[in-house]
Amino acid sequence: MLKRRTRGRSPWRGPGFCLLMVMLLAGLAPDAARAQGETQNLPEIPLTHRTPVAARYAGMGGASLTIADDHSACLANPATLGLVRGIELAAGFSHQDADREVRYLGSPTRAEYGKTRFADLGFAYPFPTYRGRFVIGFQYGRISSLDSDFYQRSPASSDQPFEEEGIYETGGLGAYAVSAALQVSPNVTLGASGIILSGDSFRERTYRYDASGGGFSDLYETTDVDISGLTGSVGALVELDPAIRFGLLIRFPESLDFDGILYEEIDGEDSAEFSITDEIDLPFRLGAGLALARQNLIVSADALFTDWTQVRFAGPVRTVDRENAYRETVDLHFGAEYLIPFSTPVRIRAGYALQPLAYRLLLTDVQARRYEEARFDRDRYAYTFGLGALLGESLTLDLAYQHGGYERSASHPTGLRYREEVTDRRVLATLTLRVN
């Protein structure tokens, strides 16, 4: 069994994010480390998956491009910020409970992980205007979680040496958005957001395998990575009639700069530490949404297209695999909200989200570095449920529960097999104060 050693973060290290350190290792690690075996962790960018940060829309499958009539518009669609009618303050938390099951060469393993995090903070202010609406807002959202645990092992056999690997990550990516929305005609509102990205990640990997000639060999690695980045978005909201809304969104490429430290230790003796810097540009994302309202019911649907083959790297990363490693995706979000007119109004919500994984290759052989195209038995999905209640005249509590995950596998004619199943459960709570 692997023994994990914890290496704490330095108190002076600023916010940042976890990148594909494994992709950097190929160019930065010493020859001795490469001789001890290569990293199994999949060379994919975890930040391609974004999660809702506000409980209301999390309970509606993340469908928010046309109905985010609060501070959440800053990160969802800045045009819908124009729907805000009063001064608003909000804060929220999320709790993740997840597990990953891996079957490698017929040997099953399981790892569990999860944390409670501060997820959302927002402010919105509508300016008094003679005609139309003008609203500004601010939002911080923890848009991507990097908390993860991975463990796998393969049984020793005559044609396959024993391998055991554990990878633990903790961290996340946050977005700070400043936004404004302006109603330019009775049924059209435009909006824009400027966004600063910031996060952190600590990653620890232990790899043990039966070296040729007998005896076990151990590789221990940690990466402590920071990031700073910029992006933005523009959106439009068209109110076709009082019951129908149509929304459009353009999210600009994300320019991310990395700064971190890689530490390596081989067989408890040889060790080295490296400074790591890199850049990544994530591509445009194009979204559209439609919402229908009838009496006490709202139904909403969003689609978000991204061509992940346009990911660009500037640092010393592998260039052979990346050209074929990513694919185009269309994220789909569906949600509904029904108002129950009790003496204290209650809103119940439900939704579904389908977010295909951007990365389509799986590493099926650690030492030979053999990649195969993955079969997606089930792409990333989530069933969601939510509840909102008015606490007093101006305080609202929203709760949401999400249950989802994905399944993928790969095989090779030599008989090498890999299967991964991830289950993700999240609970979100947002408290909002509104002043008319």
pLDDT score, position 34: 32
Return the CATH number at 227. Answer: 2.40.160.60
For the chain, what is the domain count? 1
Where residue 360 falls among pLDDT bands split at 50, 70, 90? confident
Among 36-40, 63-67, 153-157, 291-295, which stretch is predicted with the lowest mean pLDDT? 36-40
Q: What is the mean pLDDT of the chain?
A: 83
Phi, psi angles (nearest 5°) of residue 243: -110, -5
> Whole-angstrom Cα distance, residue 42 to residue 31?
21
Q: Is residue 152 part of a domain?
A: yes
Where residue 314 falls among pLDDT bands split at 50, 70, 90? low
Say if residue 318's pLDDT is above 80: no
Q: Is residue 4 part of a domain?
A: no
Helix (H, G, I), strand (E, B) or coil at 50: coil
Q: Which DSSP string corresponds to 106-170?
A: TEEEEEEE--EEEEEEEEEEEEP-SSS-EEEEEEEEEEEE--EEEEEEE--BTTB--EEEEEEEE
Say if residue 66's pLDDT is above 60: yes
Among 137-141, 142-146, 371-375, which stretch is predicted with the lowest mean pLDDT? 371-375
pLDDT score, position 125: 96
Strands 297-307 and 312-313: unpaired
Q: Is residue 5 part of a domain?
A: no
Q: Is residue 3 part of a domain?
A: no
Q: Is residue 221 part of a domain?
A: yes
Query: pTM for the full model?
Result: 0.84
pLDDT score, position 279: 83
What would the mean pLDDT of 172-183 be, rounded to a whole number? 96
End-to-end CA distance of the chain: 60
Say if residue 252's pLDDT is above 80: yes
Q: Is residue 213 part of a domain?
A: yes
Q: What is the pLDDT of residues 77-121, one digit of tens each?
A: 999 999 999 999 999 999 999 999 988 777 888 999 889 999 999
Question: Residue 155 sits in which domain range?
Answer: 21-435
Q: Is residue 278 part of a domain?
A: yes
Among 107-121, 144-158, 243-257, 322-336, which stretch is predicted with the lowest mean pLDDT? 144-158
Say if residue 33's pLDDT is above 50: no
Q: Is residue 11 part of a domain?
A: no
